[in-house]
Amino acid sequence: MNKVKKALIPAAGLGTRFLPATKTIPKEMLPVVDQPILLYVVEEAVRAGVEDIILIAGRGKHAIEDFFDRSYEVEDQLLKAGREDLLSRIQKIRDMVNIISVRQKEALGLGHAVFCGQPIIGKENFAVLLGDEIMHSEPGEPTVTEQLSKIFIETGVSTVAVMEVAAEDVEKYGVISAEKTPEGYFRVRDVVEKPTPDTAPSRLALPGRYIFTHHIFDYLQNAKPGKNNEIQLTDSMRGLAQNQGLVATLFQAKRFDAGDKLGYLIANIELALMRQDLGPQLRQYLRGLIDDLS
Ligand code: G1P
The answer to the question of residue 289 being in a domain is: no
Please give the Cα distance from 251 to 64 (Å, whole number). 28
The total number of structural domains that make up the chain: 1
Please give the Cα distance from 40 to 192 (Å, whole number). 28
Helix, strand, coil abundance in the chain, percent, nearest 5? 40, 25, 35
Q: What is the pTM of this model?
A: 0.94
Best mutation site among 172, 173, 209 for ligand 1 pocket (most ligand atoms within 8 Å of CB)? 173
The answer to the question of residue 144 being in a domain is: yes
Which ligand 1 atom is the nearest neighbour of the CA of 233?
8
Contact present, 162 and 250 (Cβ < 8 Å): yes
CATH number of 157's domain: 3.90.550.10
User: What is the CB < 6 Å shell around ligand 1?
Assistant: 110, 130, 173-174, 193, 205-208, 232-234
Please give the Cα distance from 152 to 49 (Å, whole number). 14
The answer to the question of residue 272 being in a domain is: no
- Domain span holding position 67: 6-259
Q: Return per-residue pLDDT of the chain as tens, 294 residues.
A: 678 999 999 987 777 899 999 888 889 999 999 999 999 999 999 999 999 999 998 877 788 888 888 888 999 999 999 998 899 888 888 888 999 999 888 888 999 999 999 999 999 999 999 998 999 999 899 999 999 999 999 999 999 999 999 999 999 999 999 999 998 899 999 999 999 999 999 999 999 999 999 999 999 999 999 999 999 999 999 999 999 999 999 999 999 999 999 999 999 999 999 999 999 999 999 999 999 888
pLDDT tens per residue, range 92-133:
888 889 999 998 888 889 999 999 999 999 999 999 999 989
Please give the Cα distance from 234 to 194 (Å, whole number). 10
Name the phi and psi angles at 212, rounded to 5.
Answer: -120, 150
Peptide bond into 20 cis (omega under 30): yes
Which ligand 1 atom is the nearest neighbour of the CA of 174?
9
Which ligand 1 atom is the nearest neighbour of the CA of 110?
8
